[in-house]
Amino acid sequence: MADKIIRGITEDKYIRFFIVDSTELTKEVSEMHNLSMTNTVLFGRMLNGVLMLGVDNKADAGSITIKVKGDGPVKGAVVTANNKGDVKGYVYNPQVELPLTEGRRDFNVKEALGKGMLSVIKDVGMKTTYTGQVELVYGTIAQDLTYYFAQSEQIPSSVGLGVLINPDGSVLQSGGFMIQLMPDTPEEVIVKIENNLAKFPNMTDVMDMGYSIKKIISEMILKDFDLKFTDEVSAQYKCGCTELKMKQSLNLLNKEELEDIYNNEEAVEVKCHYCNKSYNFDKEIIKNILDKK
């Protein structure tokens, strides 16, 4: 089944909700970037989060980026999505692997990231971008996004993100949900949501039982609420790199670096961070850039 993000609101207009299935996407990215199991879980969680935030961006030319940076061995990761379900990203140290957390089957994403910051960068199609930052208090991504919404946007939220990994390291399921309360939500509504969430098992375990994300949101997370589904957007990996863009990136090198390449190499390879595609440029290209420096 194609990956997708579903967005909606309850009929009483007290709760906005988002839910995503990114199983095939997470598989694709794990293979594309040759990610370790720990990094697959980290990237998949970020992928699910940014896809839900992305479809909420009103600017067609804009994007939402989630960036984490820490002092752990993974160092960090960046994932970007737009409101059409296009997503791309990369992990700083993709092959780093950590043992499972002691006595459990959980991947140790918190230790992999270490102490650091989570940033949400909003490009709303204008010249200025807006960045909100919070400390990586939890290191799980889902709880950190929940904390971000409370601290930076003052929106009471509940975020669940998960990636289920097979024993051989392949992706079995990947998905997530986000619930946000609108202003002046009555206490009885909040209590009902809290009760539903308390009974809700792990997101990817439920997906693995065969439940669709629409059933998960309507029959479990927001059980006994009347829901209005407003959007269903397909999700796909879309890098957008081109030979021209990669050639232009060579202009970022200083004169000494370009001279060293020209004098010692027959060609230079430029690799895209987002999709790992390589572009090769010969000495004449380097000379033309040098002549303009």
Residue in 202, 151, 150, 160 with CA at minimum distance from that of residue 181: 150
Residue in 88, 10, 52, 78 with CA at minimum distance from that of residue 233: 52
pTM of the model: 0.91
Measured from the Cβ of residue 132, the count of other Cβ atoms closer than 10 Å reads: 14
Number of helical (H) and strand (E) elements in the chain, helices listed first: 10, 13
**SS3 label, residue 90:** strand
pLDDT of 189:
95
Is the pLDDT score of 104 beyond 80?
no
Alpha carbon 282 to its chain's center: 35
CB 160 within 8 A of CB 205: no
Q: What is the pLDDT of the chain when averaged over all its residues?
A: 93
Q: What is the band of 262 on the pLDDT scale with cuts at 50, 70, 90? A: confident
Give per-residue pLDDT as tens, 172-212: 999 999 999 999 999 999 999 999 999 999 999 999 999 99
Domains of the chain in start order, with CATH, are 4-237 (3.55.30.10), 243-292 (3.90.1280.10)
pLDDT of 12:
94
Is the pLDDT score of 127 beyond 80?
no
Dihedral over Cα of 208, 43, 239, 279: its sign: negative
Residue in 179, 230, 177, 235 with CA at minimum distance from that of residue 23: 235
Determine the average pLDDT of the residues in 268-288: 89
Give percent of the chain with pLDDT exceeding 70: 98
Is the pLDDT score of 213 beyond 90?
yes
pLDDT of 101:
65
Tokens in use for 224? 């006994």
